[in-house]
Amino acid sequence: MLHKCPDAIPDPKAVQYVRNDRGTPMVLDNKGLLIVDHQIATDKRTKPYVKKMAKGQDYFFKEFSRAITILSENNPLTGTKGEIRKQCNVANKHHDNEKEP
């Protein structure tokens, strides 16, 4: 992986990628490859969705495109300006305060 990481001053015309999917390396598909894929496949809250997406690539594409659209329309915060919520509809600071005595 270290040999395939981008140069400090990359060539703007070069396409740089790391091939981590030997079967379909240049295709977006419903095959899980990352640690997060394993995590959502084994979590009881998300496992049913993963199974449905694994069975139907059309369903995967539909939901993936919907999620990307939602993310891009909401101007997500990055770095220290944002957070990954523990509970989707509650900001962590409010969620954490509810559990304090």
Minimal CA–CA distance to 84: which of 100, 73, 69, 95? 95
Phi, psi (deg, nearest 5) at residue 87: -130, 125
Residue 17 is predicted with a pLDDT of 59
Confidence of residue 101 (pLDDT cuts 50, 70, 90): very low
Residues 32-88 have pLDDT tens digits of 777 888 899 999 999 999 999 999 999 999 999 998 898 888 777 777 888 877 877
Structure tokens at 48: 């049913």
**Helix, strand, or coil here: 59?**
helix
Confidence of residue 22 (pLDDT cuts 50, 70, 90): confident
CA–CA separation, 4 and 93 (whole Å):
39
Q: Give the global pTM.
A: 0.52
CA–CA separation, 29 and 17 (whole Å):
16
Residue 12 is predicted with a pLDDT of 67
In this predicted model, which residue has the larger pLDDT, 98 or 9? Answer: 9
Residue 10 is predicted with a pLDDT of 64
Residue 1 is predicted with a pLDDT of 47
CA–CA separation, 82 and 91 (whole Å):
10
